[in-house]
């Protein structure tokens, strides 16, 4: 009888594991996720900054498993506990037994215990987060447009991004472009150049700490040239409803904070009894199994693996290679062969700062600027799942880059609408019944 393999997590690692096990008669596979879609997280910031529709970076897991053949099925469920002793997963709906388990649940936001982050800051991990953040930012512009006094407007027009890694830099750059090219057209009520501030805070002395110094400097200078204020060696000590507190410095008055400063494993992995390292990651064996649990693999961001003395980073290519490896290693063992240890084939990394500006450290080539940007776009299109998604993203990018148009400027969430300030004298007056809107 076929072994029952359960994969928890339909992210980059989970779907590669499922693909490796597809059409193999020795295994019957259940892919479980709490969401019914695979999410292309690297483009989440573009949903948050109104470049892309949320649907274009997500793909239904049920469509995906159809490609994998009849031995792979999908179950929508949130696993709340791993009962390794009895080889079952606990979910609110049912207990799911397994012969082999591949854990690929990804990371959650880490606020390092900073007060107020949970209550007042936005995060960028999921589609909901991106739509919430976009709605809140657009609502902040609407609120500012109601106020006549630039000082009162200031806290609505200051956007603070905490964390100078890929998410923070990419988001800050994309938001600055939205402001420069689109908000400036949309809101004649205020002077965008003078009044809108995007501040990127980083606790370390450089942005993009995973890159070399010239790339870090290029990134900082490029962001500053675009209009982003970059503050290095700046530690946030708290977030409140209307300001960010800075250790040893004045607070920044703001109504919009993105917390992109760190990650850690989810409560499910936290509660799983296994050796842990940085960010709560599971220290796996060389074949990616959990120590003392040869039938349980941990892959993707949740796995702690060192290679050449360095921890493998939480990146999509690492997760994909680990997922594929776990599927293949599991099959090899079922066929009586011992797999070679996992080795990450590092083909490099890249990140984007803004229009025509990216950094790429690929196959030994260190490229910056437009060439890196074109490479970045090509690679992201290639790795997106689904032809329709690729087409949709290409069309949106073309409109954005050629016509400076981002049509997804939609407020879809109720972001404290009831707190809309009263329109002040001198700001755009309220419309009389039947009156047509006229730009000032």
Ligand X SMILES: Cc1cc2nc3c(=O)[nH]c(=O)nc-3n(C[C@H](O)[C@H](O)[C@H](O)COP(=O)(O)OP(=O)(O)OC[C@H]3O[C@@H](n4cnc5c(N)ncnc54)[C@H](O)[C@@H]3O)c2cc1C
Q: At what angle do helices 370-383 and 387-403 cross, to 10 degrees?
A: 150
Of residues 19, 170, 177, 202, which has the active-site annotation? 170
Name 243's Cβ contacts closer than 8 Å, sequence gap at least 6.
155, 251, 252, 253, 254
Applying CB under 6 A, does 157 fall inside the site for ligand X?
no
Tell me the per-residue interface mask from 208 to 247 with ligand X, x by CB under 6 A, - otherwise. ----------------------------------------
Cross-strand bridge partners of residue 108 = 264
Query: Is 61:38 a contact under the CB 8 Å cutoff?
Result: yes
Which lies closer to ligand X via its Cβ, residue 22 or residue 246? 22
Of the residues 52, 65, 104, 178, which one makes contact with ligand X according to CB under 6 A:
104
Q: How many residues bind ligand X (CB under 6 A)?
A: 34
Tell me the per-residue interface mask from 49 to 88 with ligand X, x by CB under 6 A, - otherwise. -----------------------------xx---------
Applying CB under 6 A, does 301 fall inside the site for ligand X?
yes
Applying CB under 6 A, does 167 fall inside the site for ligand X?
yes
Applying CB under 6 A, does 125 fall inside the site for ligand X?
yes
Q: At what angle do helices 316-334 and 12-21 cross, to 10 degrees?
A: 30
- Both tokens assigned to 247: 């250790």
Say how far apart CA 396 and CA 52 lie, in whole Å.
6
Query: Is 299:280 a contact under the CB 8 Å cutoff?
Result: no
Applying CB under 6 A, does 321 fall inside the site for ligand X?
no
Q: Minimum CB separation from ligand X for residue 138, in Å?
A: 19
Is 170 in the active site?
Answer: yes
Of the residues 46, 105, 321, 415, which one makes contact with ligand X according to CB under 6 A:
105
Q: What's the first-to-final CA gap in the chain, in angstroms?
A: 74
Applying CB under 6 A, does 166 fall inside the site for ligand X?
yes
Which lies closer to ligand X via its Cβ, residue 129 or residue 405? 129
**Range in contact with ligand X (rule: CB under 6 A) among 98-106, 142-150, 209-217, 422-430:** 98-106
Of the residues 11, 116, 164, 354, which one makes contact with ligand X according to CB under 6 A:
11
3-state secondary structure at position 371: helix
Applying CB under 6 A, does 266 fall inside the site for ligand X?
yes
The full length of the chain comes to 440
- Both tokens assigned to 374: 């074109």
Query: Is 207:177 a contact under the CB 8 Å cutoff?
Result: no
Of the residues 201, 261, 305, 319, which one makes contact with ligand X according to CB under 6 A:
319
Say how far apart CA 299 and CA 138 lie, in whole Å.
37
- How many other C-beta atoms can be found within 10 angstroms of the C-beta atom of residue 256? 22
Name 427's Cβ contacts closer than 8 Å, sequence gap at least 6.
145, 146, 147, 148, 189
Query: Is 136:122 a contact under the CB 8 Å cutoff?
Result: yes
Of the residues 8, 20, 146, 182, which one makes contact with ligand X according to CB under 6 A:
8
Q: Minimum CB separation from ligand X for residue 352, in Å?
A: 8
Q: 């690679």: which residue's tokens?
A: 379
**Which residue is nearest to ligand X, using beta carbons?**
11
User: Which residues are near ligand X by CB under 6 A?
Assistant: 8-14, 32-35, 39, 41-42, 44-45, 78-79, 104-106, 124-125, 166-167, 266, 268, 300-301, 314-317, 319
């Amino acid at each position: 009888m076929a072994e029952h393999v359960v994969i928890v997590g339909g992210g980059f690692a989970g779907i590669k594991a499922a693909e490796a096990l597809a059409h193999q008669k020795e295994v019957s596979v259940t892919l479980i996720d709490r969401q019914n879609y695979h999410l292309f997280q690297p483009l989440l910031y573009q949903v948050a900054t109104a470049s892309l529709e949320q649907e274009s970076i997500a793909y239904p897991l049920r469509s995906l498993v159809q490609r994998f053949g009849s031995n792979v099925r999908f179950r929508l469920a949130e696993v709340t506990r791993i009962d390794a002793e009895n080889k079952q997963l606990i979910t609110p709906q049912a207990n799911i037994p397994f012969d082999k388990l591949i854990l690929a649940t990804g990371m959650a936001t880490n606020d390092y215990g900073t007060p107020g982050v949970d209550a007042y800051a936005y995060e960028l991990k999921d589609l909901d987060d991106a739509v919430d953040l976009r709605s809140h930012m657009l609502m902040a512009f609407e609120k500012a447009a109601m106020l006549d006094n630039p000082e009162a407007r200031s806290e609505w027009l200051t956007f603070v991004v905490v964390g100078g890694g890929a998410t923070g830099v990419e988001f800050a750059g994309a938001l600055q472009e939205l402001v420069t090219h689109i908000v400036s057209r949309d809101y004649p009520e205020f002077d965008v150049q003078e009044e809108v501030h995007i501040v990127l805070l980083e606790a370390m002395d450089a942005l993009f700490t995973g890159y070399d110094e010239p790339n870090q400097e290029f990134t900082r200078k490029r962001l500053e040239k675009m209009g982003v204020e970059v503050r290095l060696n700046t530690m946030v000590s708290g977030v409140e409803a209307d300001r960010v507190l800075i250790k040893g410095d004045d607070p920044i008055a703001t109504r919009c904070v993105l917390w992109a400063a760190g990650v850690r494993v989810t409560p499910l992995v936290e509660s799983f009894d296994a050796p842990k390292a940085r960010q709560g990651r599971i220290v796996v064996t060389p074949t990616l199994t959990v120590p003392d649990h040869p039938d349980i693999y941990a892959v993707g961001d949740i796995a702690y693996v060192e290679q050449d003395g360095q921890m493998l980073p939480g990146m999509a290519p690492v997760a994909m290679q680990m997922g594929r490896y776990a599927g293949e290693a599991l099959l090899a063992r079922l066929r009586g062969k011992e797999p070679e240890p996992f080795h990450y084939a590092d083909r490099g990394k890249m990140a984007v700062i803004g229009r025509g500006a990216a950094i790429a450290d690929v196959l030994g080539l260190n490229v910056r600027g437009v060439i890196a940007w074109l490479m970045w776009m090509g690679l992201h299109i290639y790795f997106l799942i689904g032809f329709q998604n690729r087409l949709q993203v290409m069309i949106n990018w073309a409109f954005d880059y050629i016509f400076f148009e981002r049509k997804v400027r939609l407020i879809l969430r109720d972001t404290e609408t009831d707190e809309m300030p009263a329109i002040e004298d001198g700001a755009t007056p309220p419309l009389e019944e039947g009156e047509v809107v006229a730009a000032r």
